[in-house]
Chains A and B, each alone.
Chain A
Amino acid sequence: MANPTDLSYTDEHEWLRVDGDIAVVGITAYAAEKLGDIVYVELPKVGSTITAGAVVGEIESTKSVGELFAPVSGEILEANDAVVASPELVNNDPFGAGWLVKVRVTSTGTLLTADEYNALIGE
C-alpha cells in the first residue's frame, strides 16, 4: 500500500495527519504488515499527557509485540475504541479506520515526509 503523501511519518513507522495543533496518529501499512495479524491494541488514556519518543501503548500480533511510541508531545484527545474492539482494523485499513489516537500537539519530534519514509523502508 502506498504511503499517502499528505501525511507525516516517523522512523518508528507511525503516520500523522496534522491539522493545526491537532494530529491523528496511526501506524503505517508497512508496520501493520510486518507485525502480522494484530490481535490486541493498548492505547493511552484520553486526557493523558504524552512525550515524544516515549512508549505510550502496545500493538500485539499473533507473533510479536510492537511498542507504540509517541510521535509528538501533547495531550490525548481521543483514542480509537473501534481498534481496541476490532484490532484487525489496523491491518485492514491502517491509514483510515485503523487510526489509533488523536493528540493536541505541544511539540513535535523529527517527522518525515512520505518520500523520506519511502526511502527509509526501501520503497
Chain B
Amino acid sequence: MSEQFVDRHIGTDRAAQSRMLSEIGFDSIEHLIEAAIPESIQVDKLRAPGSGLLPDPVSERDALAELKHLASNNTVRRSFIGQGYYDTVTPAVIKRNVLENPSWYTAYTPYQPEISQGRLEALINFQTMVTDLTGLDIANASMLDEGTAAVEAMLLARRASKSESNVFTVDKDALPQTLSLLIGRAEPLGIEIRVADLLAGDDPEGFGVLVQYPGASGRVWNPTWAIERAKAAGAIVIVMADLLALTLLKSPAELGADIAAGTTQRFGVPLGFGGPHAGYLAVRAGLERSMPGRLVGVSKDANGELAYRLTLQAREQHIRREKATSNICTAQVLLAVMAGMYAVYHGPTGLRDIARDVHAKATALAALLATVGQPVVHDRYFDTLHLHVPGRAGTIGEEARDQGFLLNVIDDNNLTISVDETTTEAEVEALGRLFGATGAFVEAPNVIADDLKRTSEFLTHPVFNTHHSETSMMRYLKRLADYDYALDRGMIPLGSCTMKLNAATEMEAVTWAEFSGIHPFAPSADVAGYLELIRQLETWLIDVTGYDTISLQPNAGSQGELAGLLAIRGFHLANGDTQRTVCLIPSSAHGTNAASAVLAGMSVVVVACDDNGNVDISDLRSKIAEQGDRLAALMITYPSTHGVYEHDVLDITKAVHDAGGQVYVDGANMNAMTGFARYGDLGGDVSHLNLHKTFCIPHGGGGPGVGPVAAKAHLAPFLPSHPFAQSRKHVLVAGDEVTRVAHNGTQISAAPYGSPSILPISWAYVRMMGEDGIRRATASAVLAANYIARRLSNHYPVLYTGDNGLVAHECILDLRPLTAATGVSVDDVAKRLVDFGFHAPTMSFPVAGTLMVEPTESEDLAELDRFIDAMIAIRGEADAVAAGQWPADNNPLVNAPHTAADLAGEWNRPYSRELGVYPFAQGGSSQLTTERVRGKYWPPVRRIDNAFGDRNLVCSCPSPEAFESH
C-alpha cells in the first residue's frame, strides 16, 4: 500500500499513542473518543457509517496531480480590468523568502512580542509605508481587503464625527464592489448611504464622506474643495487611495482627508482571483483610539533597548467585546509583510519609476487611440482609461478576450482599460489595434494636473533605502525571520488557535499562475477550475459540519461570524420578525462574538456560565423568557471556550428554537470534533469555520484567514452574495441529494469568493486525509490534549473537564494558585517558556490567570514531552522562589526571557548563566540536550514594557538614533 499523508500529518505514531493512552488509562483511542464526546451528538449514531461525502484519500503526489488538472481548467488571460486589482511582479526574492518560507507563513499573531520582533519590524515597515504615502499620522497593520477597509473607515467616521446625521455620502466614482459592500453593511446599523457627484457640486452631507482617488473610471480630480465643504459641515472625510498612484499624486492628507484606506495588492501580491491581499487604513492624529485592527508600536525592553509590540490593544474586541471599535481580529499579516517588503526592495525611487512607467503606458495607449479618433472620457488619469464606445463595448470586450486580454466592460457603451506594472509596450500596441489604431508605441506626455503632482517626500527612512540589492534583501528577510519563533522551530500550543501542520504539499498550488494570476472579476468561463475546486470544497465542508450549504466568501473568522449573524437577521426580517434583535452570548465567549453581533445590528445580552464553564441552563432559560419575541439568536462555541464537550448542548439549542430564536455555533474549536460530531446535528442553524485553524491554512503571522459560513437550507437565501460573482449558485446538500442553491444575502468581502488563492490548501488537506484521516487527526488531537492535562495535573490544576475527567482538544492550566503562593505570574511562565524554546500557550483566555494549551495532532510525543518537562521545571522554579531560594524580583522567571546580550553583560543574578539560557539542559548531557543547546532559539530582546509603548505612542519606523542604548 502506498504511503498515506495522514501518517505525515499526525505527529504521534501508533507506539507513541499507546504509551499516551496508557498514561491516561485508556486501551484504545476509539474508547477515548467514545468516552470524551457525548454519545447523543456522535455522528456515527446519527447517520449510517460510510454515507459521508468525502472522497477516499489520495497521496500527496496524486492530490497535486488533481490540483494541476483543476488549475488547467482556469484560463489566465492578461487582465486590464483594474477596479482595485492589478497584476504585479512579485519580486522572486520576496516570493521565495516570505510567501514560500515557513518561518514567515507558519508564525502566529505577534501577541508574544519578544519572539515576534521580525514580523513586528516588517509590519512597522508596512505602517510607515502607508503613513508616508498617504501623508497621515498613523496606519494599522493591515485590513482584510479594500472594501472592508472602506466599511471600517465608515464606522470609524461614525464614532469620530460630531455630526448627528445618519447619512454617509459616497462619491459616484467609488469602486462598485466597495459601494455595494458599504450599502449592505450600513443597512443593519441604520446608516443611510447617499451616492453623490461631488465633482458636479453635489452636497457632501452626513457624518462621513468617501472619495475614490483615482476614481473607478480612472478619473483623477482634485477633491480639496469638496473635502473642505464636507469637513466644515462636521463630516469625517475618507479618501480611498491607490498607493502606487500616490507616489505621483498629492497625498490624501494634503487633500485634507481624515482617513485614507485601500489595498496594497499591487505592491507585489498576486491577484489570486481576489485574495488574500492586505487592505490598509490610516488616520490623522486624534483618531487612533477609535481605529480598528491591530497596530504595531515602539516600546522598550527590560534593558531599555528599543523593541516592537502590538499597541493600544484595549481597543480590540477580545477586551472591549460589544464596545469594541471593530470585530476584526485576524488581519492579512503575511500579505502586509510582502507589500511592505516590496516598498523596502524598490524604495521611493523604484516605486516612483514603476508608477511613471505605468502612467506612461496609459498615456501612450491614449495617444494611440487618439490617432483613430477614439477619445478618453477623462483627460486626467493615472493608469485607467475610460472609453465611450457607443454600442460596441461588448464586442470590443469579446475581441479582446479572444486575444487573451480582459477589459472592464461596464455597459454597452462604456469600458475601462487599466494598465499595470506588467503591461508591455507590445500589449499597449495590441490594445490599440482593438480600436483600429495600428501605430507603434510612442511616449506621450504626463497628464497629471500640476495642482495634484506630488512634491512631498516619502519613504525616506533608511530601511527603504538600503536593501535594494537582492543579496541585501535576502539577508534582511533572513535576519527578521531569525528573530522570530514559528512552527518551523517548535510547538505553538495556543489554545483555541489550532497551530497544526501546514503541509508543504498543501502550500504548493498557492503560487501556481493558474490560481494566482486571475482577476476576481474574470469571466466565469475563465475560472472553471476555481469554480470546480470551490464546489468540491463546499461539498466536503458541508459534509463535515452537518449543514446544507456554505459560503467561502468571508475572508476571516470575524467576517464569517458577521455573515452568519446577518443571515439570521435576514431570516427574521423576511418572516416579519423585525423585533428579533437580541443576541444571547455566554460570558465565556470570545469577545469577537459580541463585537460581530453589534455590527449585525443586534444588542447583546450575556448568559452566565456555571462553575464548570458550561452555559448556565437556568440562566439561559430565564434570559430567553425575559427577551420573549425579541430573541434573535444564541451564539455558542462548541466544544466550549473552556475546552469541554458540553453535555446539555441539545437542550440548549432546543430551548432557543422553541422560543423562535436561531442558533449560531462558533467553529473556533472544530478541531475537537471534526469527523465525530457536526454542528448541524447539535441544532446549529449557522456556523463559521476557520480554515486557518482546522483546515491547515497557515496563520501567516496574523493572517490570512478564511472563515466560511455554513448554514441550514432556510438561511441559504441570506448568505453572502456579490454583484460580480461568477456564479450565485452554491452547493446544497439535502439528504443524499447534492443540488445547487442561490445565496442572495449581504456582501461580506470585496471579492466574490473572498480569498480563493489559499483555498487549494484546505482542499488538499481534505483530499489527502479523507474522512478516516480526519477522524484520526481529531482523535490524536484529543489524545494529545488529555495526555498533557494528565501529566501536568500534579503540577498545575486543570480547570475544566467534561465526563470521565476528560478535556477536548485543549486544556486550561490554572496558574492562580501558583501565583497566589509564589507571586509568579502567567506572564512570567509564558516568558520563561521562551527560554525553554516554546511559544507560550494562550494567556488569560477564557479565564484570567490561566494558560490554555492546545497541542494539536501534528506534534510528536517527543515535542509533547519536551513541553511537559518544561512546564514541570518551571513549576519547580516557582516553588524555589516561594521557598526563598531566589528573591521574588530576581529569579529565572521574572527575568525571562534571557538574551545573548544578558550573558555577555554583567551577570548579577543569583542563578547560573546556564540555568538562565539552557534551563532544558540541567539534567546532564546527552545527544538530545546537546542538540537542543546547539539549536536553541535566542530571543532578540528582553521582556518588553507594554505600558511605556502605550503611553508614548510611536507607530512608524523609529530613527536609527532611537536604537542607541539608554
Contacts and interface: CB of A to CB of B under 8 A. Distances in A.
Interface of A: 37-40, 60-65, 86-88
Interface residues of B, number: 11
B320 A62 contact: no
Interface string B666-682: 00000000000000000
A62 B947 contact: yes
B314 A88 contact: no
B528 to A, nearest CB: 50
Given A62-B946, A63-B314, A39 B319 contact: no
18 contacts: A37-B946, A37-B950, A39-B950, A40-B289, A40-B314, A40-B951, A61-B947, A62-B313, A62-B946, A62-B950, A63-B313, A63-B319, A64-B314, A65-B320, A65-B323, A86-B951, A87-B951, A88-B951
Interface string B921-964: 00000000000000000000000001100110000000000000
Contacts of A61: 314, 947
Contacts of A39: 314, 947, 950-951
A38 B951 CA distance: 9
B55 to A, nearest CB: 47
B319 A65 contact: yes
A31 B206 CA distance: 40
The 6 closest A-B pairs by CB, nearest first: A37-B947, A39-B950, A62-B946, A60-B314, A65-B314, A39-B951
B76 to A, nearest CB: 48
Nearest to A36: B947
Given A63-B313, A64-B319, 16 more contacts: A37-B946, A37-B947, A37-B950, A39-B947, A39-B950, A39-B951, A40-B951, A60-B314, A60-B950, A61-B314, A62-B314, A62-B950, A63-B844, A65-B319, A87-B951, A88-B951
A87 B950 CA distance: 10
Nearest to B946: A62
A107 B832 CA distance: 52
A28 to B, nearest CB: 19
B894 to A, nearest CB: 16
Interface in B216-254: none
A37 B946 CA distance: 8
B950 A40 contact: yes
Nearest to A42: B289
A37 B951 CA distance: 10
Nearest to A67: B323
A39 B951 CA distance: 5
Contacts of A60: 314, 950
A37 B944 CA distance: 13
B947 A88 contact: yes
Interface in B300-326: 313-314, 319-320, 323
A40 B315 CA distance: 11
Contacts of B947: 37-39, 61-62, 88
A115 to B, nearest CB: 25
A109 to B, nearest CB: 23
Contacts of A86: 951
A88 B947 CA distance: 9
A39 B947 CA distance: 6
Contacts of A87: 951
B819 to A, nearest CB: 13
Q: Which of B319, B320, B947 has the most CB of A within 10 A?
A: B947
A41 to B, nearest CB: 11
A33 to B, nearest CB: 13
A69 B946 CA distance: 26
Q: Which of A38, A65, A86 has the most CB of B within 10 A?
A: A65
A98 to B, nearest CB: 14
A89 to B, nearest CB: 11
A5 B546 CA distance: 62
Nearest to B321: A65
Q: Which of A60, A61, A87 has the most CB of B within 10 A?
A: A60
Contacts of A88: 947, 951
Contacts of A63: 313-314, 319, 844
Interface string B825-851: 000000000000000000010000000
A56 to B, nearest CB: 15
A86 B844 CA distance: 27
A16 B782 CA distance: 53
B831 to A, nearest CB: 15
A37 B320 CA distance: 17
Contacts of B313: 62-63
Nearest to B844: A63
Contacts of B314: 39-40, 60-65
Contacts of A62: 313-314, 946-947, 950
Contacts of A37: 946-947, 950
Nearest to A61: B314
Nearest to B324: A65
A123 to B, nearest CB: 15
Contacts of A64: 314, 319
A40 B323 CA distance: 17
A62 to B, nearest CB: 4
B289 to A, nearest CB: 7
Contacts of B946: 37, 62
A36 to B, nearest CB: 8
A40 B289 CA distance: 10
A38 B844 CA distance: 18
A65 B316 CA distance: 10
A88 B952 CA distance: 12
A57 to B, nearest CB: 13
A65 B319 CA distance: 7
A61 B319 CA distance: 11
Nearest to B289: A40
B283 to A, nearest CB: 17
Contacts of A38: 947
A88 B59 CA distance: 59
Nearest to A60: B314
Nearest to A85: B951
A90 to B, nearest CB: 12
A87 B947 CA distance: 10
Nearest to A65: B314
A43 to B, nearest CB: 14
B653 to A, nearest CB: 32
Nearest to B323: A65
B301 to A, nearest CB: 15
A87 B948 CA distance: 11
A64 B313 CA distance: 8
A86 B289 CA distance: 17
B587 to A, nearest CB: 15
B550 to A, nearest CB: 36
B720 to A, nearest CB: 32
Q: Which of A60, A62, A64 has the most CB of B within 10 A?
A: A62
Contacts of B320: 65
A27 B950 CA distance: 20
B288 to A, nearest CB: 11
B504 to A, nearest CB: 38
Contacts of B289: 40
Nearest to B951: A39
